[in-house]
Amino acid sequence: MTTPEIQISPDPATLAEEAARRFVAAAAAASAARGRFTVALSGGSTPRALLRLLAAPPYRDRVAWDRVHVAWGDERCVPPDDEQSNYRMAREALLDHVPIPHEQIYCIPTEEPDHEVAARVYDATLRRLFNPDPGEWPRFDLIHLGLGPEGHTASLFPGSPALDERDRLVAAPWVEKLSAHRITLTPPVINAAREVAFLVAGAEKAAIVRTILRGPRDPAEYPAQIVAPTDGRLTWLLDRAAAAHLD
Protein backbone atom coordinates (compact mmCIF):
# COMPACT_ATOMS: atom_id res chain seq x y z
CA MET A 1 0.00 0.00 0.00
CA THR A 2 1.15 3.52 -0.82
CA THR A 3 1.48 5.67 2.28
CA PRO A 4 -0.38 8.92 1.57
CA GLU A 5 0.84 12.37 2.44
CA ILE A 6 -1.95 14.28 4.21
CA GLN A 7 -1.87 18.07 3.95
CA ILE A 8 -4.50 19.94 5.98
CA SER A 9 -5.34 23.54 5.12
CA PRO A 10 -7.45 25.82 7.32
CA ASP A 11 -10.13 26.46 4.70
CA PRO A 12 -11.07 25.72 1.06
CA ALA A 13 -9.37 28.85 -0.27
CA THR A 14 -6.05 27.91 1.33
CA LEU A 15 -6.48 24.33 0.08
CA ALA A 16 -6.86 25.65 -3.48
CA GLU A 17 -3.72 27.76 -3.05
CA GLU A 18 -1.78 24.71 -1.87
CA ALA A 19 -3.05 22.68 -4.84
CA ALA A 20 -2.06 25.49 -7.22
CA ARG A 21 1.48 25.60 -5.84
CA ARG A 22 1.78 21.85 -6.23
CA PHE A 23 0.41 21.97 -9.79
CA VAL A 24 3.02 24.58 -10.73
CA ALA A 25 5.80 22.51 -9.15
CA ALA A 26 4.67 19.30 -10.86
CA ALA A 27 4.43 21.05 -14.23
CA ALA A 28 7.92 22.48 -13.88
CA ALA A 29 9.44 19.15 -12.83
CA ALA A 30 7.75 17.20 -15.63
CA SER A 31 8.64 19.78 -18.28
CA ALA A 32 12.27 19.74 -17.18
CA ALA A 33 12.46 15.94 -17.08
CA ARG A 34 10.35 14.95 -20.08
CA GLY A 35 9.56 18.10 -22.05
CA ARG A 36 5.85 18.02 -21.26
CA PHE A 37 3.37 17.84 -18.39
CA THR A 38 0.40 15.47 -18.57
CA VAL A 39 -2.46 16.06 -16.15
CA ALA A 40 -5.93 14.56 -15.70
CA LEU A 41 -8.41 16.99 -14.18
CA SER A 42 -11.49 16.32 -12.08
CA GLY A 43 -14.78 18.13 -11.62
CA GLY A 44 -16.27 19.76 -8.54
CA SER A 45 -16.18 23.01 -6.62
CA THR A 46 -12.74 22.54 -5.07
CA PRO A 47 -11.06 21.84 -8.44
CA ARG A 48 -12.91 24.83 -9.90
CA ALA A 49 -11.32 27.10 -7.31
CA LEU A 50 -7.91 25.63 -8.14
CA LEU A 51 -8.35 26.12 -11.88
CA ARG A 52 -9.42 29.74 -11.40
CA LEU A 53 -6.24 30.38 -9.45
CA LEU A 54 -4.14 28.81 -12.19
CA ALA A 55 -5.85 31.01 -14.77
CA ALA A 56 -4.69 34.22 -13.09
CA PRO A 57 -1.42 35.74 -11.88
CA PRO A 58 0.80 34.78 -10.25
CA TYR A 59 0.25 31.08 -11.02
CA ARG A 60 -0.63 31.55 -14.69
CA ASP A 61 2.76 33.10 -15.31
CA ARG A 62 4.64 30.23 -13.65
CA VAL A 63 3.50 27.46 -16.01
CA ALA A 64 4.85 26.70 -19.50
CA TRP A 65 1.37 26.17 -20.92
CA ASP A 66 2.66 25.15 -24.34
CA ARG A 67 4.03 22.00 -22.66
CA VAL A 68 0.82 21.12 -20.81
CA HIS A 69 -1.36 18.23 -22.01
CA VAL A 70 -4.80 18.11 -20.37
CA ALA A 71 -7.08 15.10 -20.02
CA TRP A 72 -9.90 14.19 -17.62
CA GLY A 73 -10.29 11.49 -15.02
CA ASP A 74 -13.97 11.08 -15.69
CA GLU A 75 -16.96 12.69 -17.33
CA ARG A 76 -20.73 12.68 -17.28
CA CYS A 77 -22.41 11.50 -20.46
CA VAL A 78 -23.60 14.99 -21.35
CA PRO A 79 -22.69 17.33 -24.22
CA PRO A 80 -19.49 19.33 -23.70
CA ASP A 81 -21.46 22.56 -23.33
CA ASP A 82 -23.76 21.13 -20.65
CA GLU A 83 -23.66 22.78 -17.22
CA GLN A 84 -22.75 19.41 -15.65
CA SER A 85 -19.80 18.80 -17.96
CA ASN A 86 -16.40 18.60 -16.28
CA TYR A 87 -14.87 19.77 -19.54
CA ARG A 88 -17.08 22.88 -19.63
CA MET A 89 -16.11 23.73 -16.05
CA ALA A 90 -12.41 23.42 -16.85
CA ARG A 91 -12.78 25.40 -20.06
CA GLU A 92 -14.56 28.28 -18.36
CA ALA A 93 -12.31 28.30 -15.28
CA LEU A 94 -8.93 27.71 -16.95
CA LEU A 95 -8.62 26.62 -20.55
CA ASP A 96 -10.13 29.76 -22.09
CA HIS A 97 -7.59 31.87 -20.20
CA VAL A 98 -4.22 30.18 -20.80
CA PRO A 99 -2.33 29.41 -24.04
CA ILE A 100 -2.57 25.62 -24.11
CA PRO A 101 -2.51 24.47 -27.74
CA HIS A 102 -5.93 23.16 -28.71
CA GLU A 103 -4.47 19.87 -29.88
CA GLN A 104 -3.09 19.28 -26.36
CA ILE A 105 -6.57 19.25 -24.78
CA TYR A 106 -8.02 15.74 -24.84
CA CYS A 107 -11.76 15.87 -24.16
CA ILE A 108 -13.76 12.75 -23.45
CA PRO A 109 -16.04 12.48 -26.53
CA THR A 110 -19.39 12.66 -24.77
CA GLU A 111 -21.04 13.90 -27.95
CA GLU A 112 -20.82 10.25 -29.04
CA PRO A 113 -24.27 8.79 -28.25
CA ASP A 114 -22.92 5.31 -27.54
CA HIS A 115 -21.08 5.49 -24.21
CA GLU A 116 -19.09 2.31 -24.93
CA VAL A 117 -17.86 3.80 -28.21
CA ALA A 118 -16.95 7.01 -26.37
CA ALA A 119 -14.89 5.00 -23.87
CA ARG A 120 -13.08 3.14 -26.67
CA VAL A 121 -12.35 6.37 -28.51
CA TYR A 122 -10.90 7.95 -25.37
CA ASP A 123 -8.90 4.82 -24.66
CA ALA A 124 -7.37 5.12 -28.14
CA THR A 125 -6.73 8.84 -27.61
CA LEU A 126 -4.75 8.16 -24.44
CA ARG A 127 -2.79 5.37 -26.10
CA ARG A 128 -1.75 7.78 -28.86
CA LEU A 129 -0.81 10.41 -26.30
CA PHE A 130 1.36 8.11 -24.19
CA ASN A 131 2.28 5.35 -26.66
CA PRO A 132 2.93 2.89 -23.82
CA ASP A 133 5.01 -0.21 -24.38
CA PRO A 134 3.09 -3.51 -24.55
CA GLY A 135 1.96 -4.47 -21.08
CA GLU A 136 2.61 -0.98 -19.70
CA TRP A 137 0.06 1.64 -18.62
CA PRO A 138 0.03 5.32 -19.57
CA ARG A 139 1.74 7.36 -16.88
CA PHE A 140 0.20 10.74 -16.12
CA ASP A 141 2.41 13.19 -14.28
CA LEU A 142 -0.54 14.26 -12.12
CA ILE A 143 -4.11 13.06 -11.65
CA HIS A 144 -6.56 15.09 -9.58
CA LEU A 145 -9.37 13.23 -7.82
CA GLY A 146 -12.36 14.16 -5.70
CA LEU A 147 -14.24 12.10 -3.15
CA GLY A 148 -17.96 11.38 -3.06
CA PRO A 149 -19.95 11.03 0.16
CA GLU A 150 -20.19 7.25 -0.27
CA GLY A 151 -16.52 6.85 -1.15
CA HIS A 152 -16.52 7.04 -4.94
CA THR A 153 -13.72 8.75 -6.84
CA ALA A 154 -13.51 9.62 -10.53
CA SER A 155 -16.58 7.68 -11.68
CA LEU A 156 -15.68 4.54 -9.76
CA PHE A 157 -18.72 3.91 -7.56
CA PRO A 158 -19.28 1.20 -4.96
CA GLY A 159 -19.80 -2.18 -6.59
CA SER A 160 -18.82 -0.93 -10.06
CA PRO A 161 -17.43 -3.57 -12.44
CA ALA A 162 -14.90 -0.93 -13.51
CA LEU A 163 -13.12 -1.50 -10.19
CA ASP A 164 -12.01 -4.89 -11.51
CA GLU A 165 -10.89 -3.64 -14.92
CA ARG A 166 -7.38 -4.79 -15.78
CA ASP A 167 -7.24 -4.36 -19.56
CA ARG A 168 -8.89 -1.11 -20.61
CA LEU A 169 -7.69 2.41 -19.89
CA VAL A 170 -11.22 3.80 -19.94
CA ALA A 171 -14.56 2.30 -18.95
CA ALA A 172 -18.19 3.40 -19.21
CA PRO A 173 -19.90 1.81 -16.18
CA TRP A 174 -23.57 2.08 -15.36
CA VAL A 175 -24.00 3.91 -12.05
CA GLU A 176 -27.14 2.59 -10.40
CA LYS A 177 -27.26 5.43 -7.89
CA LEU A 178 -27.44 7.97 -10.71
CA SER A 179 -29.36 5.86 -13.23
CA ALA A 180 -26.76 6.87 -15.78
CA HIS A 181 -23.54 5.82 -17.42
CA ARG A 182 -20.28 7.59 -16.63
CA ILE A 183 -16.95 7.49 -18.44
CA THR A 184 -13.90 7.04 -16.25
CA LEU A 185 -10.24 6.18 -16.13
CA THR A 186 -9.74 2.69 -14.74
CA PRO A 187 -7.81 1.91 -11.54
CA PRO A 188 -4.61 0.71 -13.26
CA VAL A 189 -4.30 4.02 -15.11
CA ILE A 190 -4.85 6.04 -11.95
CA ASN A 191 -2.34 3.92 -10.04
CA ALA A 192 0.30 4.25 -12.76
CA ALA A 193 0.50 8.04 -12.28
CA ARG A 194 3.58 9.72 -10.94
CA GLU A 195 1.37 11.67 -8.57
CA VAL A 196 -2.28 11.39 -7.53
CA ALA A 197 -3.85 14.16 -5.47
CA PHE A 198 -7.23 14.06 -3.78
CA LEU A 199 -8.78 17.51 -3.27
CA VAL A 200 -11.45 17.32 -0.57
CA ALA A 201 -13.17 20.11 1.35
CA GLY A 202 -16.17 20.45 3.64
CA ALA A 203 -17.52 19.00 6.87
CA GLU A 204 -19.89 16.74 4.94
CA LYS A 205 -16.82 14.81 3.73
CA ALA A 206 -15.25 14.29 7.18
CA ALA A 207 -16.82 10.90 7.91
CA ILE A 208 -15.95 9.36 4.56
CA VAL A 209 -12.42 10.79 4.67
CA ARG A 210 -11.88 8.98 7.97
CA THR A 211 -13.34 5.77 6.54
CA ILE A 212 -11.10 5.86 3.49
CA LEU A 213 -7.92 6.73 5.37
CA ARG A 214 -8.44 5.02 8.73
CA GLY A 215 -11.10 2.35 8.20
CA PRO A 216 -10.79 -1.28 7.08
CA ARG A 217 -9.77 -1.72 3.46
CA ASP A 218 -12.76 -2.57 1.26
CA PRO A 219 -12.37 -0.97 -2.20
CA ALA A 220 -15.53 -2.62 -3.54
CA GLU A 221 -17.49 -0.68 -0.92
CA TYR A 222 -15.21 2.38 -0.76
CA PRO A 223 -13.63 2.79 -4.20
CA ALA A 224 -11.30 5.62 -3.20
CA GLN A 225 -9.33 3.01 -1.26
CA ILE A 226 -8.29 1.41 -4.55
CA VAL A 227 -6.09 4.43 -5.29
CA ALA A 228 -2.54 3.38 -4.41
CA PRO A 229 0.07 4.45 -6.97
CA THR A 230 2.45 1.61 -7.76
CA ASP A 231 5.46 3.90 -8.24
CA GLY A 232 4.22 7.36 -7.44
CA ARG A 233 3.11 9.82 -4.82
CA LEU A 234 -0.33 9.89 -3.19
CA THR A 235 -1.44 13.15 -1.58
CA TRP A 236 -4.63 14.07 0.24
CA LEU A 237 -5.21 17.82 0.26
CA LEU A 238 -7.91 18.47 2.85
CA ASP A 239 -9.38 21.50 4.52
CA ARG A 240 -9.77 21.45 8.30
CA ALA A 241 -13.46 20.60 8.11
CA ALA A 242 -12.90 17.56 5.90
CA ALA A 243 -10.08 16.37 8.18
CA ALA A 244 -12.08 16.87 11.39
CA HIS A 245 -12.53 13.14 12.10
CA LEU A 246 -8.93 12.10 11.54
CA ASP A 247 -6.91 11.17 14.59
- pLDDT, tens digit, 9 for 90 and up, residues 182-239: 999 999 999 999 999 999 999 999 999 999 999 999 999 999 999 999 999 999 999 9
Confidence of residue 109 (pLDDT cuts 50, 70, 90): very high
Q: Where are the domains of the chain?
A: 10-202+213-233
Percentage of the chain beyond pLDDT 90 is: 94
Q: For residue 190, which of 36, 50, 45, 40 has the smallest C-alpha distance? A: 40
Average pLDDT over residues 163-174: 96
Give dist(CA 236, CA 247) in Å, integer.
15
The mean-pLDDT minimum among 27-31, 90-94, 179-183, 211-215 falls in 179-183
The pTM of the whole model exceeds 0.85:
yes
Percentage of the chain beyond pLDDT 70 is: 100
Give dist(CA 213, CA 225) in Å, integer.
8
Give dist(CA 215, CA 194) in Å, integer.
25
* Position 118 pLDDT exceeds 70: yes
Average pLDDT over residues 90-115: 96
Confidence of residue 178 (pLDDT cuts 50, 70, 90): confident
10-202+213-233 is classed CATH 3.60.15.10 = no
Q: For residue 103, which of 76, 139, 128 has the smallest C-alpha distance? A: 128
Angle (nearest 5°) at CA 84 between 80 and 86 = 60
Q: For residue 49, which of 185, 195, 200, 153 has the smallest C-alpha distance? A: 200
The DSSP bridge pattern shows strands 174-175 and 68-72 to be: unpaired
The pLDDT value given to residue 1: 59
Q: Does residue 134 have a cis peptide bond before it, meaning omega lies within 30 degrees of 0?
A: no
Residue 118 and residue 110 in contact, taking contact as beta carbons nearer than 8 Å: yes
